[in-house]
A and B are shown apart, each in its own frame.
Chain A
Amino acid sequence: MSDRISKGVAESFATSEFLGEVGGMAAMGTKTTPAPLIPQKRQSFRRWFVDKGWRHVVAWAAIVFAVFPLLYILSVSLNPIGSLTGSNQLFRAFDLSNYERLFTDPAIPYARWYGNSLLIAIVTSVVTVLLCAMGAYAFSRMRFRGRRFGLMTLLVLQMFPQLLAITAIFLLMIQISDVFPAIGLGTHAGLIMIYLGGALGVNTFLMYGFFNTVPTAIDEAAKIDGAGHARVFFTIMLPLVVPILIVIGLLTFIGIIGEFAIASVILTDPNQQTVAIGLFQLISGFQSQNWGIFCAGAVLAALPVMVFFLVSQKYIAGGLVSGSVK
C-alpha cells in the first residue's frame, strides 16, 4: 500500500542533500556545527529554556503522541482479559495467553497467515529487485529506439496505483483460472504475478538513477577484458548497486506485507490468506471479543517490519555514502 510514500523516502535517501545529514541519523552530531566544547557556565535557566529547553518539552510531547498507541497494543497483547473494555489499564498483567491462542486456536490459523505473508512478500521483493535491476541496466547502459519513450511511460505509469484497476484484475484472474488454474484466482502465484505487474513502474526509475551514478568506466573496463553483457550485469553492476537493491527490496517487502485490497479480492480460502486480511477479519464485527488476540497478532506482525525499517535506515545511508569507486 505504501509504495508511493516509500518510494518518496527512498528518493530522498537517494538525493544527496538528504544523505548528507538525515540519512545518516547516527552520524548526526558530527555533520552539523560542532558544539562549543566549553558550555557557558553562567547560562541562566531562562536562556537555556528559550534556546533549548522548550525543544525538549515539544520532543517529549511528540514522543508520547507517537509511542502511546504502540505501548497500548503491547500492553493489551499481554493482558489475559483480552477484551476492549478490560484493556484500558496499561501493563497490569504479563501473560502470554493471547499469543498462545494465536498459535493454538484452529479457527485462527495465524502461523499459516504469517507464512503466507512472508512467502508472498519475499518472492515478490526478490523478483521485483531482479526485474527492476535488469530494466534499469538496460535503460542506463544501452541506447535503443524507444528508450526515452519507455522511461517516460514508466514515470507516468507510476502515478496510477494498480488498485484502480482492481475490477479488471479480478475478472482477468477469473479468466486465467479457466486456462491455468495454478496461477489463477485464489493462488499465491497469481497474486505475486499481479504484484510484479506493479514492480517495474514503481521502482525502475529510482534504480535507473542509481545505476547512472556508477561510472561507465568500470563496466567498459570489464568489457575490454572480454566480459559479456550478462557477466558485466551479474558480477560487476549488481554488486556495485547493492544498496539500492536492498532499499527497493525492503520497501517492496514492507509494501507487500501490508497490502490488503488486492490480496483480499484474490485470496478467498482462509488458509491461503495473509496476515493483513486475517487480522482485519479477526476484528471485523468482533472487535471487542478478539481485541487481545488481535493486538498480539499485530505486535508479531509489526515487530519485524519496524525493526527492518529502523535498521535499514542506517544501512541504506551507509551504503549510499560509501559509493562504488574507490
Chain B
Amino acid sequence: MASANQGTTRQATSTGAGVPSNWGDDPFHKPGRRLTSGGLLALIVKVVLLAIIDALTVFGVWVLIAKGDWITAVILALVVVGVNYIYLRPGLLPGKYLTPGLAFLAIFQVFVIIYTGYIAFTNAGDAHNSTKEDAIAQIIRTSQDRVPDSPEYTVQVFKQADQFGLLVAEPGGDLSFGTNEQPLESVNGAPQGWDELNLSQVIRFQDEVLAVNVPISDDINDGTLRTSDGQKAYVYVSSLAYDEAADTFTNTATGQVYVDDGEGNFRAEDGTTLTPGWRVVIGWDNFAFAFTNDQIRDPLLRVTVWTFAFAALSTLVCFALGLFLAIVLNHPTLRGKKIYRVLVILPYAFPAYLTGLVWAGLLNQEFGFVNQVLLGGAQIPWLADPWLARFSVIFVNMWLGYGYMFLVCTGALQSLPDDIIEAGKMDGAGAWRIFRSVKLPLLFVAVAPLLIATFAYNFNNFGVIYMLTRGNPRFTDTTLDIGATDIMITMVYKVAFGSGGGRDLGLASALSILIFIIVTIVAVVSFRQTKALEDLN
C-alpha cells in the first residue's frame, strides 16, 4: 500500500509523530455505507448548514443572472455544487476539513491578488468607477437643468432600507411611484414595504432626498423628476443628449459632440471630457505613468528607497536594543529581574495603532511633551522636517518593537548550550571574546529567520507610519499626496483612498503589484535561508 510507505518515511523525518496509514483518501468507514461518521445531530447540523448555503446561492445566482452577469453566476453555482459534493459524499475527509478555510482564503487572499493584477491594467478610480451604462446615466443626471415650463408635481418621499423613492401625484391626479433605478410606474396607493418620510426625516436625509432623481419614462432623454423640499417636484432634462446609435453625446446648447475615446471617457474635439468616465482596460499605462511621469517617478523612487531603509533600520535598531537589554538582564543572580522583564516589554503589549497616535502628540512641535518638558521649551520640528520625521518614525517603531526582540533574544540566549561556553572559558577566552565569537554567532543562527520575518513585516508596516505622520511632511516637488515618511503601502492606501479628489485605484493597484514583486523576492531569499520548505513532510 503506497500510502503506508509514505507514512513511514514521513514519520522518520521531522515531526516524530506517527501517522496512521489508512487515514487519507480512505476514510474511517467504508465509503457508501453512511452519510456521516457522526451521529444524527451531526447529520442534522450538516444538512441545515448546507441548506442555508444552497438557499443563499440560489438567491445570489438569480440576482446575478438578473444583472446579466452570467460568468459569476456560473462560477458561484459550480463552487457551491462542489461544496455540496464534498460534504454529502462519504470520504473526501481532507476536503471536509479544509473547504471552509480554503474558501475564504481563495476569495479574500488569492483571488484579490489576481484581481489586483487586473485592476492595475484598468483606469479604475474616482473618475472611472463603474460601467459605461452607469456613466452615461450619470452624465445625463448631473448635467440636468429644470425645464422652464415644467408642471408642478406633488410628491411624497418614501424610504426602504437605504433606497429612496417618490410617490408622485400627477397634475391630472393619477398616482405613480419610481426610484432612481425604476422609472415612474402608475400605482394605486402607497407602495408596499416602503416607509413615508415625515418632515424631520426629510431634513435628516436631505442629501439623499436631493439626490433622488426618478426617470419619467424608460428613455432617460425624456428627463427626470427631482424635488428640493420633499413636497414639490419638477421635470429636469439633460443639456446633453445621448445618441444611442452613434454612441455620442451632443450638447443641445452649443452643438458640441462628445465621442467615446476608447479610454473610458466621452471626449470632444477640443479635448474636454465629460465626467464621470467608465472603467476600461488601459494596458500598461499605469505602470508607464509610475515610471515616466515627473509627478510620480522621483517620489516613487524616494519612497521605495525609504521603504527599504525604514524596514532595515527598524529591524536593526529593534534588534540591537532588544539584544542589548536581553544581555543586560540575562544575569543569573540579578535581583528584580522578573519585574524588569515585564516592565521592559510593556510597549510591545501596547496596541500598535495607538502608539503612533500617542507619539504624534508627544512629539508635537509646539505643545508636545518632548519639546516642552524634556527639552525645556525647544521648538524642534520632530514630525515636520523630512529627516527628523524619518528619524522619529524609526525611533517610535523602536519603542514599539524592541520588546519583541527582547523576548526573542532572551529566549535564544538562555538556550545557548553551556558546554560550548565552558569550552571557550577553558581555552582562556574573556567575557567579551566569548560573547563576540561564541554567543553572538549562535544567537544569529537562532534569530535569523525571525529577523527576516520582521523585515518583511516592517516593509509593510502601515500602522506606525500612517498613525504617526500619515507619510508627511509632503514632498514639495509633486502635487500628489506623497511625503517623506511614506512607505510603499501607505502610498498605495493614499493613492487609492486618500482624501481629496483624484483617487486612482488603477495606479494604486499597479503600485501594489510592484510591492508584490519586491515581497516575492524577499520571500524567495528568506526561504532559501530558512530551508523551511525542506522540513515539510
> A2-B352, A21-B411 known; A171 and B332 CB under 8 Å?
no
Asked if B28 and A1 sit within 8 Å, CB to CB, the answer is: no
A172 to B104, CA, bound (A): 13
Contacts of B342 in A (CB 8 A): 25, 310
B467–A25 touching, CB < 8 Å: no
CB neighbours of B37 from chain A (8 A)? 228-231
Q: A63-B344, A157-B109 known; 5 other A-B pairs, CB under 8 Å? A: A25-B341, A66-B346, A132-B101, A143-B7, A169-B112
Contacting A at CB under 8 A, from B385-427, are 399, 401, 403-404, 407-408, 410-412, 414-415
Q: List 26 A-B contacts (CB under 8 A).
A: A1-B462, A18-B408, A18-B411, A18-B415, A25-B338, A25-B342, A32-B414, A83-B367, A135-B101, A143-B10, A155-B536, A156-B527, A160-B113, A165-B113, A165-B512, A167-B505, A179-B64, A181-B161, A193-B107, A200-B101, A212-B16, A213-B15, A214-B17, A230-B38, A233-B97, A260-B467
User: Is A94 interfacial (CB 8 A cutoff)?
Assistant: no
In angstroms, Cα B93 to Cα A215, docked, is 20
**In this assembly, does B329 line the interface, its C-beta being within 8 Å of a C-beta of chain A?**
yes
The reply to whether B351 and A257 form a contact with Cβ atoms under 8 Å apart is yes
From the candidates B340, B349, B362, B407, name the one contacting A59 in the complex (CB within 8 A). B340
Check if B20 is an interface residue, CB within 8 A of chain A.
Answer: yes
Given A2-B352, A160-B519, also A298-B17 (CB < 8 A): no
Closest residue of B by beta carbon distance from A183: B56
CB distance from A3 to the nearest CB of B (A): 8
Decide: B17 and A4 in contact? CB cutoff 8 A.
no
Q: Given A69-B362, A287-B364, verify A159-B522 contact (CB < 8 Å).
A: yes
Contact B407 A22 (CB under 8 A): yes
Min CB distance A198 to B, Å, is 6
CB <8 Å contact, B367 and A143: no
Instruction: Flag if B333 contacts A36 (CB, 8 Å).
Output: yes
B509 proximal to A (CB < 8 A): yes
- Provided the pairs A5-B404, A29-B337, A70-B350 are in contact, do residues A134 and B329 lie with their beta carbons within 8 angstroms? no
Q: Which of B116, B351, B373, B512 has the most CB of A within 10 A?
A: B351
- The answer to whether the Cβ of B492 comes within 8 Å of any Cβ in the partner chain is yes
Known: A143-B7, A148-B536, A159-B456. A65 touches B334 (CB 8 A): no
- The answer to whether A166 and B60 have CB atoms under 8 Å apart is no
* A19: nearest chain-B partner, CB-CB: B411
Is B344 within 8 A of A66, CB to CB? yes
Interface residues of B (CB under 8 A from A): 3, 6-7, 10, 15-21, 23-25, 27-29, 36-38, 42, 56, 60, 63-64, 67, 93-94, 97-98, 100-102, 104-105, 107-113, 115-116, 118-119, 124, 161, 325, 328-329, 331-338, 340-354, 357-362, 364, 366-369, 372-373, 399, 401, 403-404, 407-408, 410-412, 414-415, 446, 450, 453-454, 456-457, 460-463, 466-467, 489, 492-493, 496-497, 505, 508-509, 512, 515-516, 519-520, 522-523, 526-527, 532-533, 536-537
* In the complex, chain B residues whose CB is within 8 Å of the CB of A258: 351-354, 463
Q: Are A4 and B453 in contact (CB under 8 A)?
A: yes
- A142 in contact with B23 (CB, 8 Å): yes
A5-B404, A141-B23, A163-B489 in contact; A168/B460 too (CB < 8 A)? Answer: no
Contact call A155/B532, Cβ cutoff below 8 A: yes
B50 to chain A, nearest CB (A): 15
Question: Is A122 interfacial (CB 8 A cutoff)?
Answer: no
Which one, A96-104, A241-249, A275-283, is touching chain B?
A275-283
Question: Measured between alpha carbons, how far is A161 from B481 in the docked complex, in Å?
Answer: 23
- Decide yes or no: A67 and B343 within 8 Å by CB, A22-B414, A230-B37 being known contacts: yes
Say yes or no: is A144 at the interface (Cβ < 8 Å to chain B). Answer: yes
B499 nearest CB across to chain A (Å): 10
- What's the Cα separation between A162 and B352 when bound, in Å? 18
Residue on A nearest B114 in the bound complex, by CB? A168
Q: In the complex the two chains form, is B104's CB within 8 Å of A196's CB?
A: yes
Contact status of A1 and B353, CB under 8 A, knowing A20-B415, A160-B113, A265-B497: yes
Residues in B whose Cβ lies below 8 Å from that of A161? 460
Contact check: which of A12, A35, A51, A69 meets B399 at CB < 8 Å?
A: A69
| Pair A180/B23 contact, Cβ less than 8 Å | no
Docked-complex contact A58 and B6, CB < 8 angstroms: no
Q: Please determine whether B329 and A55 come into contact, CB atoms closer than 8 angstroms.
A: yes
Cβ of A87 within 8 Å of any chain B Cβ, yes or no, is: yes
Is B94 touching A138 in the complex (CB atoms < 8 A)? yes
Considering only CB atoms and an 8 Å cut-off, how many residues of chain A contact the other chain? 133
Q: Is there an interface contact between A298 and B354, defined as CB atoms closer than 8 Å?
A: yes
Given contacts A162-B109, A230-B42, contact A171 B505 (CB under 8 A): yes
Residue in A28, A294, A310 with the greatest tally of chain B CB atoms within 10 Å: A28
In the complex, are the beta carbons of B512 and A309 less than 8 A apart?
no
Q: Is the CB of A228 within 8 A of B38?
A: yes
Q: Are A171 and B124 in contact (CB under 8 A)?
A: yes
Question: Is A322 part of the binding interface, using a Cβ–Cβ cutoff of 8 Å?
Answer: no
Most chain A beta carbons < 10 A, residue from B105, B352, B496: B105
* Complex contact A134–B101 (CB within 8 A): yes
**What are the 8 tightest A-B residue pairs by CB atom distance, in nearest-first order?**
A197-B108, A17-B415, A228-B37, A18-B411, A21-B414, A4-B457, A168-B115, A138-B97
Interface of B, secondary structure class, is helix
Residues of A within 8 A of B454 (CB): 4-5, 8
> Looking at the complex, which one of B358, B373, B466, B496 makes contact with A166 (CB distance below 8 Å)?
B496
**What 0/1 readout, one digit per residue, does chain A (31-51) give for beta carbons within 8 Å of chain B?**
111111000000000000001
Q: Which residue of B lies closest to A180 (CB)?
A: B60
Within the complex, the shortest CB–CB distance from A268 to chain B, in Å, comes to 11
Q: Are B349 and A167 touching (Cβ within 8 A)?
A: no
CB < 8 Å neighbour of A20 from B94, B329, B414, B512? B414
Residues of B close to A16: CB separation below 8 A: 415
For residue B109, which residue of chain A has the nearest CB?
A: A197
- Residue of B335, B351, B354, B523 near A254 (CB, 8 A) is B351
- Is A236 part of the binding interface, using a Cβ–Cβ cutoff of 8 Å? no
- Given A157-B110, A197-B105, does the pair A66, B20 have CB atoms closer than 8 Å? no
Let me know if A95 is at the binding interface, CB within 8 A.
Answer: no
A179 vs chain B, min Cβ distance (A): 5
Shortest Cβ gap from A185 to chain B (Å): 11
Contact B353 A260 (CB under 8 A): yes
Do A201 and B343 form a contact, CB below 8 Å, given A164-B489, A216-B20? no
Residues of A within 8 A of B453 (CB): 4-5, 7-8
A261 in contact with B101 given A28-B337, A35-B332, A171-B115 (CB within 8 Å): no
Structural contact, B493 and A261, CB atoms closer than 8 A: yes
The interface residues of chain B lying within 8 Å CB-to-CB of A142 are 23-24, 93-94, 97
Cα separation A70 to B343 with both chains bound (whole Å):
11
List, in ascending order, chain A residues with CB within 8 A of B533's CB: 152, 155
Q: Are A196 and B347 in contact (CB under 8 A)?
A: no
Closest CB of chain A to B349's CB: distance in Å? Answer: 4
Nearest residue (CB) in A for B508 is: A167
Residues of chain A within 8 A (CB-CB) of B358 are 69, 72-73, 295, 298
Task: Check A93 for interface membership: any CB of B closer than 8 A.
Answer: no
List residues of chain A with CB within 8 A of the CB of B64. 179
A164-B460 contact given A32-B332, A254-B351, CB 8 Å threshold: yes
Please determine whether B369 and A87 come into contact, CB atoms closer than 8 angstroms. Answer: yes
Chain B nearest CB from A203 CB (Å) reads 10
Q: Are A260 and B463 in contact (CB under 8 A)?
A: yes
In Å, the complex CA distance between A62 and B341 comes to 10
Pair A305/B344 contact, Cβ less than 8 Å: no
Partner of A201, one of B20, B67, B109, B345: B109
A150 to B105: give the CA distance in the assembly, Å: 12
